[in-house]
């Protein structure tokens, strides 16, 4: 391995380590202060998912018996709404650094004025498809969620905390022991 590449690799690992520490500290502060602060100020509770917002919720899939694995604690940017659910980008299907890069890519392809004003991304499936070469891995993150299989309220993550939330290990992978497949959950 070249010396230059080794330095770059160490620098990237150090940067990710520092960001992970910041995320862990943010999470600990948030949890420890929950009794002192209004929980609705930490994560804004929402009755339904909001397109372009980063949402956290509990999920129990309809076809869990046929899926090789699934994330029971999705961290999702909803993209399209349907009468019975929604389509969204679950960041947990990417490694932590790739999650942050995905968010940066999503912000970059958005209209800054609308994003700054609404604190939400402008997202459509067509837009994701068009920019798929710039949003590496997005095709593996797009999942369909049914409202009658959501097992909690929806919680919206404040945009200033998106990167911190993306770096936390909030995912909960449920693996189907009766299903034979090659590989394992992404992370």
- Which pLDDT does position 88 carry in this prediction? 97
- Which pLDDT does position 60 carry in this prediction? 96
Instruction: Sort 44 into a burial class: Cβ within 10 Å, 0-12 / 13-18 / 19+.
Output: middle
Note down pLDDT in tens along the chain; length 187 residues. 445 544 544 555 555 555 556 656 655 565 454 444 444 454 677 888 999 999 999 999 999 988 889 999 999 999 999 999 999 999 999 998 899 999 989 988 886 666 656 778 989 999 999 998 889 899 999 999 999 999 999 999 988 888 888 988 889 999 888 766 555 777 6
Separation between Cα atoms, residue 70 and residue 171, nearest integer Å: 9
Separation between Cα atoms, residue 77 and residue 165, nearest integer Å: 13
Nearest to 77, CA basis, from 125, 43, 18: 125
* Three-state secondary-structure class, residue 78: strand
Cβ-Cβ contacts under 8 Å for 172 (sequence gap 6 or more): 71, 72, 73
* Three-state secondary-structure class, residue 51: coil
4 vs 14, 16, 17, 164, CA distance in Å? 15, 18, 20, 29
**φ/ψ (deg, to 5) at 76:** -130, 140
Separation between Cα atoms, residue 65 and residue 62, nearest integer Å: 8
Read off the pTM. 0.77
- Which pLDDT does position 177 carry in this prediction? 81
Which two structure tokens, joined as six digits, stand for 135? 């949003």
């Amino acid at each position: 391995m070249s010396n230059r590449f080794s330095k770059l690799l160490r620098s990237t690992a150090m940067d990710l380590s520092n960001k992970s520490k910041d995320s862990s500290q943010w999470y600990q502060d948030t949890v420890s202060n929950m009794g002192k602060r209004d929980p609705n100020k930490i994560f804004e509770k929402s009755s339904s998912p909001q397109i372009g917002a980063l949402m956290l919720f509990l999920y129990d899939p309809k076809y869990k018996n046929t899926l090789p694995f699934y994330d029971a604690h999705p961290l999702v940017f909803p993209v399209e709404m349907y009468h019975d659910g929604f389509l969204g980008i679950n960041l947990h299907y990417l490694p932590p650094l790739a999650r942050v890069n995905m968010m940066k890519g999503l912000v970059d392809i958005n209209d800054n004025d609308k994003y700054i004003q609404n604190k939400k991304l402008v997202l459509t499936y067509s837009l994701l498809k068009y920019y798929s070469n710039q949003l590496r891995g997005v095709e593996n993150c797009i999942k369909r969620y049914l409202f009658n299989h959501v097992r909690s309220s929806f919680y919206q993550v404040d945009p200033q905390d998106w990167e911190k939330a993306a770096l936390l290990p909030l995912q909960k992978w449920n693996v189907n022991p009766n299903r034979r497949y090659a590989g394992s959950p992404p992370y």
